[in-house]
Every structure is written in C-alpha cells, then in structure tokens.
Amino acid sequence: MSEPLPIIAVLAGGTSAEREVSIGSGQAAAIALARTFPTRVFEINAEALPAGLDPKRHVVFSTLHGTFGEDGGMQRLLDAAGVTYAGCDAASSELTMDKTRTKQAAAARGVRVADAVVFSADQKPTAKAVVARLGENLVVKPNNEGSSVGLALTASRAELTAKLAAIASGSWLIEPRLIGRELSIGVLGGKAMGVVEIRPKSGVYDFKSKYTKGMTEYFAPAPLDATETAAAQRAAETAFAACGCRDYARVDFILTVHDGIFLLEINTLPGMKETSLLPMSARCGGLDFTGLVRELVMPAVQRFRAAAALPR
C-alpha cells in the first residue's frame, strides 16, 4: 500500500518588488503539481506564515521571489513551525541572497568571480575611488535583491557620481561590466542541468528585458562547445555546493572571451513559469515542466515522510 501524499502548499505573492512575478510562478507551479499531488495555493501578503498551514499535512513549495521569500525569512518561520519545505534551507537562502557572500563562498572553492566594491547607502565610496579600482564601465546593483531589480550600468565617472547620489538606502555593490555571453544553469539535487544562453536585445538583462516579451532571446541548450558546457556545469555544481544549497537552484554566469567564466549569482527560488530559465535548463535534458516541479518537490516529500515515521 502506497504512502498517502501530503498536500503541496504553494506559496506565492509576497512583499518584495517581484510580487507579481511570484504570483505567475505560483499559478504555473500549482497547475503542474496538481497533476501528481493534492495542491493548495496560499497567497502571501505579509511577512508571516499563512493561516491554515499545517505541518502534519502540508509540504511547502515556495515561489516567493526576492526579499522575505528567498532570503531565509520565510524559511526560518517554516522551520520554527515544523513545516517541511522544498528548496534551500534558511542558512543557504540567507547566504545566497547576499551576492557578496555568495561570491566569497564560491571563490573559496575555485569559482572565478569579478572584483567588486561593496557599500551601504550611508557609507558610499567616491566615484573617483571606484573608477580607479574597477575602471569606468561598471554595473551597479543591490547586494541583496532579486537578480535584475535595481540594476544599472554606468560608463563614466560622471554617470557613476549621479547613480551614487541617487542611492538612498540598502546595501549595494559595484562590479566591472564583464563583456561576454550570459549563461544560466539549473542545478537539481546537486547536478547541473542544461546550459541556457540569454541574449537581451538591449545589451543588458535588466528587469525590463527579463519580463517584457520579445526583448530577450534564449538559446537552450546554449551554442557552446563540449568543453565550455562542461566547465560551466562544473562551476554551477561547485557554487551550489559551496553555498550549502539543497534540492535545487539556478546559477548565473558570464562567459568572457579571454578570461573564462565568472559567477554572477545563485537564485534559490527562481522563476517557475514554463518559459522561465530553470524550466528551460531542465528541458535541455528532456525533463518537461510537470516532471521538473515533481522532481523539485520530491526531496521535501521524502523528508516529510521520514519525519512522520519517527516515533513521537
């Protein structure tokens, strides 16, 4: 006799700048999960657990993007309530939401990362000092927001001065703008899936290019040779392990012509529409969307069953 299935509680919405994107992810994931599991969607509107979430009946599949969703905040609440959930735990979620800590952990395992100036809004560096260290062609972005939220490019000291003046709060980082091919790789159970290449028509994969239809081309699998593909997949697996990730994540890189691959960031709760990057990566190996979401949640289902079998 087979074990009863838990109810999959899909969390969607949230309080971050990516709330509407999360709602779309949650709806798509819930439809796919319902083909295998009893499923219920909980729309999150505050930094709190939703009413009705039961640790004895539910396994959480979160599609909350950005702050509170994937920075360890929701994960800590779930842990405290004894609720089993898919994806990275609270510690690795918090680490990977911080782009600087992510790069430090990956670099310690040999993954190449770009130099950066990290600062808070109340202790800004001068544009002169930054340009002296990193050059004039720069990327300025929040240190702990979603991958394309708040991203800006500057190409001169004057432009950087204006950007710095406009920053009023938060933690930020400035990196040299690496010229190359942008790659995204899904990691499932510690193993890299297919490599996707992202080609924004504007030249920068910002929030607008990411979420406006027709502004970006995607190639899945990326047109790389076998050596480049293997190197990118190894780097993704290494970064995933270095940051203590669990179950799944998406790892993003820039492949430069002369210096090889550089880690950009790890996204622990990536977009989950059928057209999102993680599903694209999975399809490279023949895993369709329904199969993917089932694989993403199964380790949590197994943890739920193991906990239920323990003597009380």
186, 271, 281, 294: the catalytic one is 271
Average pLDDT on 170-195 reads 96
Integer CA distances (angstroms), 264 to 3, 31, 104, 234, in order: 41, 31, 12, 15
Active site includes 190? no
Q: Is 274 a catalytic residue?
A: no
Q: What is residue 118's three-state secondary structure?
A: strand
Q: Does 99 fall in a domain? A: yes
Six token digits for residue 272? 């989950």
64 and 170 co-located in one domain: no
Q: Which of 94, 98, 175, 252 is catalytic?
A: 252
| 106 and 211 fall within a common domain | yes
Number of domains in the chain: 3
Let me know whether 186 and 234 are in one domain: yes
Tell me, yes or no, whether 108 and 121 share the same domain: no
Residue 72 lies in a domain: yes
From the number of C-beta atoms within 10 Å of its C-beta (0-12, 13-18, 19+), residue 284 rates as middle
Q: Which DSSP string corresponds to 133-196?
A: HH-SSEEEEESSS-TTTT-EEE-SHHHHHHHHHH--SSEEEEEE---EEEEEEEEETTEEEEEE
| Pair 106, 127 in one domain | no
Domain interval for residue 19: 7-87+289-297
Is residue 276, in this structure, part of any structural domain at all?
Answer: no
Is the same domain home to 167 and 18? no
pLDDT at 145: 72
Known catalytic residue at 211: yes
Torsion sign across C-alpha atoms 25, 172, 74, 191: positive
Indicate whether 199 belongs to any domain.
Answer: yes
Task: Render pLDDT for 256-279 as a digit per residue (tens, 0 to 9).
Answer: 988 899 999 999 999 999 889 999
Of the candidates 101, 112, 157, 211, the residue annotated as catalytic is 211
Task: Assess whether 215 and 99 both reside in one domain.
Answer: yes
Please tell me which residue in 66, 246, 265, 276 is annotated as part of the active site.
265
Residue 252 has pLDDT above 60, yes or no: yes
AA letter at 202: S
User: Residue 160 is part of a domain; what is its CATH number?
Assistant: 3.30.1490.20
0.95 cut: is pTM over it? no
The answer as to whether 311 is a domain residue is no
- 142 and 203 housed in the same domain: no
Are 104 and 80 in a shared domain?
Answer: no
**pLDDT value at residue 215:** 79
Marked catalytic residue, from 14, 18, 70, 197: 18
Q: Is residue 228 domain-shared with residue 105, that is, in the same domain?
A: yes
CATH of the domain at 36: 3.40.50.20
**Looking at residue 1, what is its pLDDT?**
37
Flag whether 281 is in a domain: no
Same domain? For 225 and 100 the reply is yes
Domain assignment present for residue 309? The answer is no
Question: DSSP class of residue 59?
Answer: E
User: Residue 150: its pLDDT value, please?
Assistant: 76
For residue 151, being part of any structural domain is answered with yes
Q: Is 94 a catalytic residue?
A: no
The verdict on 249 and 194 lying in the same domain is yes
Q: What is the CATH number of the domain that holds 204?
A: 3.30.470.20
181 assigned to active site: no
267 catalytic per annotation: yes
Catalytic site includes residue 205: no
Our answer to whether residue 145 is catalytic in this structure is no
| Catalytic option among 25, 143, 147, 276 | 147
